Amino acid sequence: MKLKLDLDELANDFFDNTRLMGIVAPLKSYQFCWHLNHLLHFDFRINNDIEIQLYKKNRRYYFSVFEYREPVGSLVHYLYNNQFDGEYLLPEFRHLDFLWLMKGDTVTDAFLQQVMNPVKTIQGVQLVMELTNEQIKNKGHLIF
């Protein structure tokens, strides 16, 4: 008997109760995180254990993921680099530099706006938008 891993089901479980933002900000990831930490009083840090590796065109591509866990509750913020060496984590969103996933607790529309609005004030940030699950074709690329 063969067991088949249902990737769609896995993706649905992973994205259950999440919110995702796309950000256009041609900044280095460490600079962008510094701005976020300073502005929002967060503590984004790179988490090499959940770095995303994709294998395309006979080579590996590495997409760093920064993580911040809220001190109260179970909400975790993940900031993904969408680009590495000319490849994209989500090719359907080539224009985005970063993807920000909020997971682990309910994120209200009001809370999402409380996060999005200050991010828009960072010098170099050109766009901050919410992405819906339906817009994402390569959901599996975000799962660590």
Cβ-Cβ contacts under 8 Å for 50 (sequence gap 6 or more) = 65, 67, 78, 144
What are the distances in angstroms from CA 92 to CA 36, 41, 77, 124?
A: 25, 31, 22, 22
Residue 20 predicted with pLDDT over 80: yes
Contact present, 97 and 15 (Cβ < 8 Å): no
The CATH code of the domain at 17-142 is 3.30.310
Higher pLDDT, 11 or 74: 74
> In the 8-state DSSP scheme, what is residue 97?
S
pLDDT in tens, 26-67: 999 999 999 999 999 999 999 999 999 998 888 999 999 999
pLDDT at 133: 79
pLDDT (tens digit per residue) in 111-142:
999 999 999 999 999 999 999 878 888 888 88
